[in-house]
Amino acid sequence: MNRFVAFIPFVCGPPQRNAFLAIRPWKAEGMPAEGRALKEARRELVEHLRRSGYIETDLVEAAMLAVPREIFVPPHNRPASYADHPLDIGHGQTISAPHMVAIMVEAMAPREGLRVLEVGGGSGYHASVIAEAIGPRGHVWSVERIEPLAAVARRNLELAGYADRVTVLVGDGSCGWPEHAPYDRISVACAAPAVPDPMRAELADGGSLLIPVGGPYVQELLRVTRRGDGFDVEDLGGCVFVPLRGRCGHT
């Protein structure tokens, strides 16, 4: 049964006016000026996400504070690492806006030791935030269909220190990835025409799947929770993602 839980306005809306995130000149010792300014910008962004209600828990706040988004952003976009909007990562794909990552990681109710499948690995940023939240005993399998992006994600994960907690897989994850199932959580970072049945089947009992479902321009973020042989579906609000391509996605 569909149950409307909350409508979160502007979850993927136009970039907010984050003028306060502008990089400031720092004369600090020990860390290059750019690095220190980015760290400060990250702290300000995370505070903003908490004040705005996108971050609700200390766990997700700590995870977003820990992961340096600038590592996952191509060099020409690096100064905009902590602006709250999606950024181009090449191959027609984007790294999601920080507030969207916050919403999705909160909605998956992360805890220590979970086994997570991510579909749409992109830069590896979202997977790193999940990995940070589920700790060293958890694991993320992150599927990316574009091989050069998967290679960049692997390098980013190495640099950020999450390579041992995140395995990047290359291929079509639109129907899920049965090899490591069942998963406690599945997080899909691209838009599907409908919830793929094989993906539901890969959920552990009590596990949940987050997936944007709809047309090419706007979707609803759904949370599907497995209860034995049944599934609860909650609509968490409107969003905009790049399409999920492949056998269970858009052609």
Interface residue list for ligand SAH (CB under 6 A): 93-96, 119-120, 122-123, 125-126, 143-146, 149, 172-174, 189-190, 242, 244-246, 249
* In the complex, least distance from residue 35 CB atom to ligand SAH, rounded to whole angstroms: 21
One-character DSSP codes across the chain: -EEE----TTTT-SPP--GGGSPPP---SSS-HHHHHHHHHHHHHHHHHHHTTS--SHHHHHHHHHS-GGGGS-GGGGGGTTSSS-EEEETTEEEPPHHHHHHHHHHT---TT-EEEEE--TTSHHHHHHHHHH-TT-EEEEEESSHHHHHHHHHHHHHHT-TTTEEEEES--TT--GGG--EEEEEE-SBBSS--HHHHHTEEEEEEEEEEEE-SS-EEEEEEEEETTEEEEEEEEEE--PBPBSTTSB-
Give 32 or 216: the residue with its C-beta nearer to ligand SAH: 216
Give 143 or 236: the residue with its C-beta nearer to ligand SAH: 143
Give 20 or 250: the residue with its C-beta nearer to ligand SAH: 250
**Structure token pair of residue 187:** 């997080």
| Chain centroid to CA 226 | 21
Say if residues 187 and 99 touch (Cβ distance below 8 Å). Answer: no
* In the complex, least distance from residue 187 CB atom to ligand SAH, rounded to whole angstroms: 8
Say if residues 244 and 188 touch (Cβ distance below 8 Å). Answer: yes
Active site residue 142: no
Length of the chain counted residue by residue = 251
Respond yes or no on whether the N-terminal peptide bond of residue 196 is cis (omega within 30° of 0). Answer: no
* In the complex, least distance from residue 239 CB atom to ligand SAH, rounded to whole angstroms: 12
* In the complex, least distance from residue 55 CB atom to ligand SAH, rounded to whole angstroms: 16
Give 29 or 179: the residue with its C-beta nearer to ligand SAH: 179
Give 125 or 183: the residue with its C-beta nearer to ligand SAH: 125
Find the catalytic residue in 81, 96, 128, 208: 96
* In the complex, least distance from residue 220 CB atom to ligand SAH, rounded to whole angstroms: 17
What residues act catalytically?
96
